[in-house]
Each structure stands twice: as structure tokens, then as C-alpha cells.
Amino acid sequence: MQPSQQRGVPNSERNGVGLAATTPDWEAIHLFLEVARRGSFRSASDHLGLSINALRRRIAELEARLDVALFTRHVDGVRTTAEGEEILVAARKMETASFGLIRARDRSSPALSGEVKLAVTEGLGTFWLVPRLVEFQRVNSRLLVDINCAMRSADVLRLEADASVQLTKPTNPDLKLVKLGRLHSMPFAAPSYIETYGVPKTVEEGLNHRLVMQVADQTATEELFEKTYPGINKTGVVVMRTNVSSAHIWAISKGAGIGLLPTYVHAIAARIVPVDVGLTFSFDIWLTYHPDAVRIPRVRRMVDWLIDAFDPRRFPWFRDEFIHPKDLPREYRGAPIVNLFEGFFGANNQTSHHL
């Protein structure tokens, strides 16, 4: 006999089995979104830090709850089914709403406490922003600054970061965009390399030397090589290739070869010297953030600090026009930049009293 409180209730809704039991939780929807965006369980599991088997299990549970197949397998990964596409539209709306809730919470939290997430390219983060961060922390001691130094651009609309400093210009019209300055690059080499191999006088002579490259998102290094040396095989010319700026600058500083570096490194590591062959490349530096983010006081404070940290009026190497490293001491009027790196590159720096 049925309990009186369940008489007239459909079987699927008895004993708590109903809407509450069949409605998927937000975490499951989040996992579905990541798999759909990345096109494979392997890529999504790497990004989420979740084992691929656990991810497959969670998606299978979601499909069982919704009673639909969300993905079909393909040789290059997975694709959403027709039903999955419809659910994907609704899932994106759920995600947008969840971000709105988080931003509303942050706007009501204490003004200058909490966490600020900053994404920045590995080189600018390691060699420019992190050494200067003590300035920011001294006056914002209650803030936790989470810095993600990576060459992949962060998605600030999806709250991967509150603000992002990058070398590729975002195209999403929903983002706030500020040009911070311009990064100028040219070839550099260590004195030890020049003593051993000499220095090229022209771009063409560079093919007779040992070259090192950083290859990563936002660097466009391989494209630059093809443009400079069209049709030339890298084998025998490029002797080292790395994906991070720190390894790249150390390789050049230790004499492994000639490589492209931003001109500002001369202000922090004078153990390298510019190689004048008339070869320079420039990249605009972009700050991007969600328009709502600056209504959060701690994010507004970080954004203002970032704009100041790249101010071309103070730091001539970020101006639109190229300034040769040998001319930077004449253009720069601030405190010695090299002091920020004491103990990292060492004090044996021929320009430390200038820059």
C-alpha cells in the first residue's frame, strides 16, 4: 500500500526520485563544457587536472541523468551530438549566470581583501612583473595575488583570470581592452659566445652561427624564422629550442647561441649584448579584463598598477618606437631596474648604474 503522502504522485517522483534527482549539478555541466570546448577527453582532463577515467565516468553519469548521448567518438577526439548541441547552448547560459553570481559576490566583499588572479606571458611575468610585485604588496597587504605565467592566453570571460597581460589582441567585443605598450625584440648574444664564434654583421651571416629559439603560443618565433630565412631548414642552424622564456634567456646568457630577446632585458641582464644586423620585431602588449571586473575594488587596484607598471613614459623600452639598447640609459630616468634582480643575474652588470 502506498504511503498517503505519495498517493497520486507519479512513480518517477516518489521517494525523492524526480526533478531534484534528475537535474544535473553545475559541476557535471562544467565538465561537459570543457570536453565540448577542447574536443577530446584527454585535453579536457589535462586542463581540469582530473584523470581521464574519472572524467569519462562523470560524463557517462550526466548522459544517464539526461537520458541523451552528448558526444560521439571521432578519430581526432569527440564531437557533440545534435542533442548535445542543444544542451551546450543551455550549459553556456548556466555558466554565464554562475559567473554573474561570482562577480556579484565579489562586489559585495571587503574592498581590498581577497584574491586577484592575473594571467601574463611567462617572460613578462617572470622578468618584469613579479620582481616589481613587492611594490604592489606593500600597499595591498591583505590581497592574495595569484599569477599564472603561461604563453596561453587566459579566458577572462570564463574567470580563468581577473585580468590578462598578453601579446595577442583579443577580438571578443565583450572584453575591455587596453594597450599597455609595445615589446621590441632583437638578437642578443653573450660575450662568451662572441669570443668563441664571433658576431654576424648581416642577417645572412646569421645562418653561419648557432641560433636558439623560444617556440610557444604568442611568440610567433617560427613564423619570424621563415620570414627572415625563407625555405631554410632549421637543422644545423637552430641548436636549441625551448618553450619558456627563463630557459631561453639563460641559454643565451650562458653562450649557447644567438637568440631574440626583448630590448628591456639589457636593463636587467647586461651579460648579454645586442647583435646589430638590422633585425627587430615588435609586439603590442595588451591588458584585457571583463568590464564588470573593475567594479571590484581589488581588481581595479590591480588594473591600475598594471597600467602604471608598463607606462611607456617611465619605461622607454615599452614605447611604440624602437629604441636601441645602447640608447636606453639616456632615455631612462628612473631607479636602477637591475636592483630588482640582485641575486638572480648577479651584480656583475655593466649597466647597473644606468638602468
Whether residue 257 sits in one domain with residue 202: yes
CATH number for the domain that contains residue 94: 1.10.10.10
Q: How many domains does the chain have?
A: 3
Confirm whether 330 is domain-assigned.
Answer: no
Please identify every stretch of the chain with a pLDDT value under 70, giving residue numbers as ranges: 1-23, 99-111, 156-157, 159, 218, 267, 269-270, 335-355
**According to the 3-state scheme, what is the secondary structure of the chain?**
CCCHHHCCCCHHHHHHCCHHHHCCCHHHHHHHHHHHHHCCHHHHHHHHCCCHHHHHHHHHHHHHHHCCCCEEEECCEEEECHHHHHHHHHHHHHHHHHHHHHHHHHHHCCCCCEEEEEEECHHHHHHHHHHHHHHHHHHCCCEEEEEEECCCCCCHHHCCCCEEEECCCCCCCCCEEEEEEEEEEEEEECHHHHHHHCCCCCCHHHHHCCEEEECCCCCCHHHHHHHHCCCCCCECCEEEEECCHHHHHHHHHCCCCEEEEEHHHHHCCCCCEECCCCCCEEEEEEEEECHHHHHCHHHHHHHHHHHHHCCCCCCHHHCCCCCCHHHHHHHCCCCCHHHHHCCCCCCCCCCCCCC
Whether residue 11 sits in one domain with residue 104: yes
pTM of the predicted protein model? 0.66
Question: Length of the chain in residues, anyone?
Answer: 355
Confirm whether 344 is domain-assigned.
Answer: no
Predicted confidence at residue 89, as pLDDT, reads: 86
Predicted confidence at residue 269, as pLDDT, reads: 59
Whether residue 61 sits in one domain with residue 26: yes
Which among 233, 264, 283 is the end of a domain? 283
Predicted confidence at residue 67, as pLDDT, reads: 87
Whether residue 262 sits in one domain with residue 197: yes
Whether residue 163 sits in one domain with residue 96: no
Which structural domain, as residue segments, surrounds residue 211?
Answer: 183-283
Please tell me the distance from the alpha carbon of residue 318 to that of residue 307, in angstroms, as a whole number.
12
Percent of the chain with pLDDT over 90: 26
For 157-210, write each residue's pLDDT tens digit: 676 888 989 988 888 888 889 999 999 999 999 999 999 999 999 999 999 999
